């Protein structure tokens, strides 16, 4: 089942090296339950990565 995700758009115009650049950030609008699920998944993946790094340093 494919769910449609909506995004919150934030646009900023910033100077960079004498030029004006438009930065656009899109953030998904999620339910609290989905936010928590994604947060846990990211934490698990980061733990796996750092655990592998730590083991290789020993």
- Alpha carbon of residue 10 to chain centroid: 14
pLDDT for 57? 62
pLDDT digits (tens, 9 = 90+) for 10-52: 999 999 999 999 999 999 999 999 999 999 999 999 999 888 8
Q: How far apart are CA 3 and CA 18, in angstroms?
A: 42
Whole-prediction pTM value? 0.55
Domain spans of the chain, in order of start: 6-56
DSSP designation for 2: P
State how far the Cα of 47 lies from the Cα of 16, in Å rounded to an integer.
35
> Residue 56's pLDDT is what?
63
Residue 5 contacts residue 29 (beta carbons within 8 Å): yes
Is the pLDDT at 1 greater than 60, yes or no? no
**DSSP codes, 23-50:** EEEEEEE--HHHHHHHHHHHHHHHHHHH
pLDDT top residue among 10 and 1: 10
């Amino acid at each position: 089942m494919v769910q449609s995700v909506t995004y919150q758009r934030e646009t900023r115009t910033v100077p960079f090296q004498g030029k004006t650049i438009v930065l656009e950030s899109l953030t998904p609008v999620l339910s609290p339950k989905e936010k928590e699920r994604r947060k846990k998944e990211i934490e698990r993946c980061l733990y796996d990565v750092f655990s592998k790094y730590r083991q290789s340093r020993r």
